[in-house]
Structure 1
Amino acid sequence: MEITLALQKLGFSEYEARAYVALAQGSSLNGYETARDAGLPRANIYPVLEKLVQRGAARRFETRDGNRYTATLPERLLEHIEAGQRRTLTSARRALATLRVPAEVPAIFNLSGRGEFLSQAESLIESTRNTLLVAIQPPEATALAALLDEARARGVVITTLCMESCPTECGGCQGDIYRYNLAPPGAARWCLLVADATRMLAAAACETEVNAMLTEQPLIVELASAYIRQSLALATLGGAFGECFEGLLSVEARCILDSLYPENGFLAYIKRLAQEPN
């Protein structure tokens, strides 16, 4: 029964939950009537009823025929439980604050499979408070669109790098959207999420598998943030200056930059980033 399961999640035993439901559905019951209506053994009913009284879930009153019991109204019961849990959490918080926990380097968690990746992405996006940097391709953008839209609606500032330079909006990307040619070569798709400059989720996905990692390790978070920001900066500069770059760079600067992009040189790379969608 759904009500008894809900009460059990709040700490009631099964017998306590069933007895409370029986009391709540009757005006006032004695032990025999409660056991009958709840389907409980008569031998166990009085300890169960006394436990409900101690919890504040029931009240006991005496009559000439013996003790009878009534249920606390559900609204009052929930208020009582909520107040008790707040007190418990406050006590636990004070106690735990006295612990001296050694500093640890934040762990890096490896994730495998699309389901695990999407579950962690959902958790990260829902817990983002201020800023979210995103580098993404259409399949993952579509899968995360609703979550990203909810984050934007609650005030999270989202900066999205569409890595496929989509010529038309797919509806998946959210926030401030920048479309540039940065899709990785091969069949794998990339997805980067950096939340509040403190947490990062990165994934490489293809049709058959998804491999991802989740971390709060500052160095890796900063590297992911820098990749998204610097990619946007380079592509924006390439679009703004175009061929003018040739005359702006000194010979020494050109040599250094070309050495960093040995395949076709720096200017070819930056022009490719800034290409208009086809």
Structure 2
Amino acid sequence: MKENILETLKNLNFTEYEAKAYLTLLEESPLTGYAVAKNSGVPRSRIYEILDSLAMRGDILVSPGNTPQYTPVPAKELIKNRRMKAEENFELAEKSLAEFERSANDRENIWNIMGRNEILDKVKACILSAKKRILLEIWEDEFEVLESELRQAANRGVNVTIIAYGEIVCDFANVYLHYMGYEITEEYGGRWLVISGDDSEVVAGIVSLGKDSRAAWTMHVGLVMPITEVMIHDLYLMEIMEEHKELLEESFGVNLAKLRKKFSIHPDYKKHYVD
């Protein structure tokens, strides 16, 4: 009978020595550590370590004094405490595993977002979750909506770098004014927004179509990597233009117009993504 109870206690996360000490105290208490060791068969060299472990876990109580005495928490209370702890652990496991599963799925999925406000809300979430770096391509209109969140990110130590189309001025970010922001607005017939957060998630899409605006959000490395690197290469180009604009325009026309025409597939040399 006692062996069965010992096995039951082991299933409740007791070691063999802890189970023997607890059962001994259930049979008779209070007892000194010496008496618990003598009655339970737990080695005297281990008994105080075992009793301290039980006390820290709340399975027994200690009466302090020159010779401490020990008494067990009643069996019903012990079971109640174990059940509550188990339920807490199951709830935590359920929540944590669901979050992990969702995170793992998010890394493989590409999510469609419709509507300008909805896109900007997702961008705000991306800004709030960033811990190291934000890369952002943006027009003035959308910057005004996101400025507060971007400032908060900078204040908590996130490096914020903005490729700006139009006159964006701020004191908390590295701002690169695109050398042909206004021309691009005319040429593309719309505004886009691209954000890369910590090189681990991106939101990219068209934001100038009101409710018909559309964007994609993903953590899929197959898109996060190339989109982030395209933004970095834009920064390279702007640094190069800053240093060598006259030389480059001599070869490729004002604002590199010859290059844009060279790689256009439309006779009017405009983009038609939103037609």
Please give the TM-score of this superposition, normalised by the length of structure 2.
0.51
1:216 deviates by: 0.9
Q: Distance in 1 between matches of 2:138 and 2:146?
A: 10
Q: 1:16 matched to which residue of 2?
A: none
1:206 deviates by: 1.7
Q: 1:263 matched to which residue of 2?
A: 261
Q: Of 166, 173, 184, which aligns to 1:175? A: 173
Q: 1:227 matched to which residue of 2?
A: 230
Q: Of 142, 152, 157, which aligns to 1:155? A: 157
Q: 2:188 matched to which residue of 1?
A: 186
Q: Distance in 1 between matches of 2:241 and 2:177?
A: 13
Q: Distance in 2 between matches of 1:158 and 1:225?
A: 14
**How large is the RMSD of aligned CA atoms in angstroms?**
3.8
Per-residue CA deviation, residues 131-180 of structure 1 (Å, 9 max, x unaligned), is: 1100100111001111111111111111111023x2x63x5x85111101
Q: 1:65 matched to which residue of 2?
A: none
> Counterpart of 1:217 in structure 2: which amino acid?
H
Counterpart check, 1:217 vs 2:220: yes
**Structure 1 unmatched ranges of 5 or more:** 1-82, 266-278
Identity %: 18
1:86 deviates by: 6.7
3-state DSSP class of the match of 2:199? coil
Give the direction of change, closer, same or farther, for the CA distance of 1:194–1:139 in structure 2 (3 Å limit).
same
Structure of higher CA gyration radius = 2
> Counterpart of 1:141 in structure 2: which amino acid?
F
Q: 1:198 matched to which residue of 2?
A: 200
**Structure 2 unmatched ranges of 5 or more:** 1-84, 264-275
8 Å Cα contact 1:135/1:161 also seen in 2: yes
3-state DSSP class of the match of 1:193? strand
8 Å Cα contact 1:160/1:174 also seen in 2: no
3-state DSSP class of the match of 2:261? coil
Give the direction of change, closer, same or farther, for the CA distance of 1:145–1:95 in structure 2 (3 Å limit).
closer
Q: Distance in 1 between matches of 2:249 and 2:189?
A: 33
Give the direction of change, closer, same or farther, for the CA distance of 1:107–1:239 in structure 2 (3 Å limit).
same
Q: 2:29 matched to which residue of 1?
A: none
Per-residue CA deviation, residues 66-114 of structure 1 (Å, 9 max, x unaligned), is: xxxxxxxxxxxxxxxxx999755555478789x9x99896111111012
Q: Distance in 1 between matches of 2:192 and 2:217?
A: 14
Give the direction of change, closer, same or farther, for the CA distance of 1:88–1:179 in structure 2 (3 Å limit).
same
Give the direction of change, closer, same or farther, for the CA distance of 1:89–1:221 in structure 2 (3 Å limit).
same
8 Å Cα contact 2:137/2:194 also seen in 1: yes
Q: Distance in 2 between matches of 1:145 and 1:102?
A: 30
Q: Which has the higher helix share?
A: 2
Per-residue CA deviation, residues 170-203 of structure 1 (Å, 9 max, x unaligned), is: x5x8511110124352331111110000100012
Per-residue CA deviation, residues 53-76 of structure 1 (Å, 9 max, x unaligned), is: xxxxxxxxxxxxxxxxxxxxxxxx
8 Å Cα contact 1:132/1:195 also seen in 2: yes
Q: Of 233, 238, 242, which aligns to 2:241? A: 238
Q: Distance in 2 between matches of 1:90 and 1:145?
A: 36
8 Å Cα contact 2:119/2:215 also seen in 1: yes
